[in-house]
Amino acid sequence: MNTEIRGIVIDPGHGGSDPGATGNGIIEKDLNLKISQYMYDRFKELGIPVYITRDTDETLNPTDRVNRILNAFGNREDVIVISNHINADATTADGAEVIYALRNNDVLANLILEEIEKAGQNVRYSYQRKLPSDQSKDYYFIHRNTGVTQPVIVEYGFLDSNKDDPEQLKNNYEIYANAVVNAVLRYLGIEGQQPGTYTVQSGDSLWSIARRYNVTVDALKSANKLTTNVLSIGQVLKIPEPMSDGNSDVETEIIYVVAPGDSLWAIARQYGVTVDQLKQINNLQNDLLNIGMELKIPTKSTIPPTSEMEVIYTVQPGDSLYRIALANNITIDQLKKYNNLTSDMLSVGQKLRIPSATQTVYVVKAGDSLWSIANRYGTTVDTLRRKNNLTTDTLSIGQRLYV
């Protein structure tokens, strides 16, 4: 369907002095916030107007929460509210539920359940709940007091289930959060990522995407009827058939002519390589460029080996292969193959080898902040934190960050 919206409000349930449900190593308020922050970043990357009611462990009473929701984009029918929660008090219950307001239909709620089920989680049902004392009103204040907006409560599973919900919630919560994003995209008539397609992310170029899928830039442009190399975040590209094994190493040398305003970093980013690789293949001793200078662009067969730059990542509580692969711009299969993993299970403290070709190292300088570094490299502060295992935003001069 094609539905226009003014904005999306993400609401992490509970917080501060209100922990919500707890059990099996899960504190609801904390997991709600992680899910919501991931979802918020995803919508931002897609260029969709989005607001989050809390981004810290903050206590919000119902009145404050409702005021933030209504003040974000106004009391309007074209505002979607997604309130994220974890269920509890299970007996034999297991799986996700979605509750929608009496004033709304079940279309968005059912799309969310469909996408969560495709992501591998059990689903139960979508439903409405009425206030016992007044059957004309919603039971939950997030439905009852939010004007004419379109709110849904998403319960991702039961943290006290005796089935597989607890482990799935701990390991796969980002996958389920992304499923909700995909459901909203379907609701808005924006195609999500389907098999044989790729959704453009911040920092992508045709060259980097072509390398990832073992196709040529020309084949990628032809499949998508592109007349320029310009991409936009959230754009969905069709991926043509990869080159056969016999031709996979046959690559046409690319020569780039330096234009006004160019830098090694900008050129490296455009072609999905590193500055060091550019300097090495062109025998450059510094970062200075001259207009009209011709640069060779490293190809798969000419990129210098970088195994000595391999990064070791220590698994943190709440980590999953999906999250680590996303933060390092690789696929789960690449991560598993690189570490000889036979399953998706991780343990806290486990050491993972991260393929070095995806790493850029930045040395912190006076006046730097996570925001300024993220902005410079076209990424997000949250991604920088995850990639470098940072627990605070404080930086020190000379500190090395993987970007």
DSSP string of 73-93, one letter each residue: H-S-TTEEEEEEEEE---SS-
The pTM of this model reads 0.52
Give the domains, in start order, of the chain with CATH numbers: 7-187 (3.40.630.40), 193-249 (3.10.350.10), 251-304 (3.10.350.10), 307-402 (3.10.350.10)
Quote the pLDDT of residue 109: 97
In angstroms, rounded to a whole number, what is the distance separating the alpha carbons of residues 294 and 290?
Answer: 9
CB-based contacts of 222: which residues, under 8 Å, 6+ apart? Answer: 240
Q: What are phi and psi of 22, to 5 degrees?
A: -140, 150
Quote the pLDDT of residue 299: 63
* pLDDT one digit per residue (tens) for the chain, 403 residues: 556 788 999 999 999 999 999 999 999 999 999 999 999 988 887 778 999 999 999 999 999 999 999 999 999 999 999 999 999 987 778 999 999 999 999 999 999 999 999 888 999 999 999 999 999 999 999 999 999 999 999 999 999 999 999 999 999 999 999 899 989 988 988 754 444 677 776 667 787 777 767 777 778 888 888 887 777 766 777 888 765 444 433 445 577 888 887 888 777 766 767 777 788 788 888 778 888 888 888 765 455 443 334 567 778 777 788 777 776 667 787 778 777 787 788 888 787 877 654 456 677 777 778 877 876 666 778 777 777 767 777 777 767 777 7
Residue 322: Cβ within 10 Å count: 19
Quote the pLDDT of residue 369: 81
Residue 286: Cβ within 10 Å count: 7
- SS3 of the chain: helix, strand, coil, percent, to 5: 35, 20, 50
Which has the closest alpha carbon to 149: 1, 50, 7? 7
Ramachandran sector of residue 399 (left: φ over 0; alpha: ψ -120 to 50; beta: rest) = beta
Quote the pLDDT of residue 311: 64
In angstroms, rounded to a whole number, what is the distance separating the alpha carbons of residues 15 and 84?
Answer: 12
Quote the pLDDT of residue 309: 44
For the four alpha carbons of 32, 379, 306 and 338, in that order, the dihedral sign comes to positive
